[in-house]
């Protein structure tokens, strides 16, 4: 995946992890990037919400999943509802099906395991801030396997008013492609991709990207 064009404004990032031995070095390393400012760190979900409110605007929260008081999945859900402009990238040791699907359903835009290197993490932060979804290869493979194993309930998979272009976009989502890659594949802008996705989700009653992957596979598009 090619990196999105660098923003002229430095990205404002919050690092959330309950282990100081992980959180503090990670924040220090990310702060070395020329286009990233780590504006706060947090040890649990309640601290994440407070930090986002205190440091508005925030572009990205790099979020651990297993934290006390409020875990990363619930914090992601709350951020999606209360601060929809903030992108969440999960960074965790857990890549099991339930964790992946729960985080993506809550609104996470990216999901990395802690095997990811510094460059992978900074790329994911930039991509998420640009509106792209980022899954590392292990997570993507597990997600596709999980949705194949759990198809949607019986009934019409896709409404009749979906356009050919919207079907193409859904098929590429089903392959795990982020918005930028879909735009490049179809020779259209990312803004146009987002418009197609919004229309598609509204027409088909698709809840989130994980649901879109599930529907694409069940409909034989991926």
Return d(Cα 34, Cα 147) in angstroms, integer: 38
CB atoms within 10 A of CB 170: 25
Q: What would the pLDDT profile of 146-180 be if each residue is shown by its tens digit?
A: 666 665 555 456 888 899 999 999 988 887 677 87
pTM over 0.85: no
Residues 16, 211: Cα–Cα separation, whole Å: 26
> Could you give the angle at which helices 137-149 and 97-106 cross, rounded to 10 degrees?
90
Q: What pLDDT is stored for residue 106 in this prediction?
A: 83
Instruction: Give the per-residue pLDDT at 4.
Output: 54
pLDDT of residue 146: 66
**Which residues contact residue 214 at a Cβ distance below 8 angstroms, ignoring those fewer than 6 apart?**
147, 150, 151, 152
Instruction: Report how far Cα 171 is from the mean position of its chain's Cα atoms.
Output: 18
Q: What confidence score (pLDDT) does residue 54 get?
A: 95
What pLDDT does residue 25 have?
93
CB 37 within 8 A of CB 12: yes
60-63/36-42 β-pairing: unpaired
Q: What is the DSSP secondary structure assignment for residue 59, as one 8-state letter?
A: -
Question: Per DSSP, which regions of 20-63 are E strands?
Answer: 36-42, 60-63
Distance CA 58, CA 169 (A): 29
Q: Rounded CA gap, 142 and 78, in Å? A: 25
* Per-residue CA distances from 14 to 55, 80, 140 (Å): 9, 15, 24
pLDDT digits (tens, 9 = 90+) for 102-116: 888 788 888 998 888
Mean pLDDT for each consecutive 10-residue tract of the chain (222 residues)?
A: 59 95 93 93 95 94 94 92 91 82 83 87 89 76 67 63 92 79 89 92 83 78 72
């Amino acid at each position: 995946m090619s990196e999105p064009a660098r923003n002229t404004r430095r990205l404002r990032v919050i690092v959330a992890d309950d282990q100081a031995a992980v959180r503090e070095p990670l924040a220090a390393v990310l702060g070395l990037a020329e286009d990233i400012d780590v504006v706060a760190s947090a040890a649990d979900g309640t601290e994440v919400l407070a930090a986002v409110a205190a440091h508005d605007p925030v572009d990205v929260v790099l979020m651990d999943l297993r934290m006390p008081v409020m875990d990363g999945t619930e914090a992601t859900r709350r951020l999606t509802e209360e601060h929809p402009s903030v992108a969440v990238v999960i960074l965790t040791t857990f890549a099991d099906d339930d964790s992946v699907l729960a985080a993506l359903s809550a609104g996470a835009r990216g999901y990395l395991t802690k095997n990811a290197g510094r460059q992978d993490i900074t790329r994911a932060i930039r991509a998420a801030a640009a509106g792209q979804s980022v899954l590392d290869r292990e997570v993507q493979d597990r997600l596709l396997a999980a949705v194949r194993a759990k198809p949607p309930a019986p009934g019409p998979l896709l409404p009749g008013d979906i356009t050919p272009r919207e079907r193409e976009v859904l098929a590429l989502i089903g392959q795990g492609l982020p918005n930028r890659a879909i735009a490049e594949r179809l020779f259209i802008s990312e803004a146009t991709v987002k418009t197609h996705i919004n229309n598609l989700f509204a027409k088909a009653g698709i809840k989130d990207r994980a649901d879109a992957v599930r529907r694409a596979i069940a409909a034989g598009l991926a």
